[in-house]
Amino acid sequence: MVRKAVNLFALCLFLCGAVAAAQEVSKGTAAMTAAEQWLALVDGGKYAESWNEASQYFRNSVQQEQWAPSLEAGRKPLGKVVSREMKKMTYKTSLHGAPEGEYMVIQFATSFGKKRAAVETVTTMAEKDGTWRVSGYYIK
């Protein structure tokens, strides 16, 4: 009887862990899809559209009139994207200067036509409706 109870408890722990892992994978997939779709806009020079598709937090932080010229100034000298490979994805519930929430910080090793080795960091966040959208973008 005790052995059955212990086995049942172990099974419950395993299943709870499996459910949590599946939820993390689901969040990671949604965050990656949002990042890739947003990067496609940026790669295509659709900077105004990228602002429109970003998170509410992003749109409240960056003025629309300033986004396109700023992004163009940063991206144009690099040339077109030659390759991009995801290197790291980190789940966070807080980021410095940002509201509490769910975030995925995704780092890509990216090669541009005029800069062979760069690191793009795309931060996505879960909106109130559960949709993942880009909330930050940096190139090193």
The tally of domains found in the chain comes to 1
Q: What is the DSSP letter of 129?
A: T
Give the DSSP per-residue string, 21-68: HHHHHHHHHHHHHHHHHHHHHHHTT-HHHHHHHS-HHHHHHS-HHHHH
pLDDT per position as a tens digit, 85-98? 999 999 999 888 88
pLDDT per position as a tens digit, 26-47? 788 999 999 999 999 999 999 9
Q: The domain spanning residue 116 has which CATH number? A: 3.10.450.100
pTM: 0.80
* Domain limits for position 87: 2-139
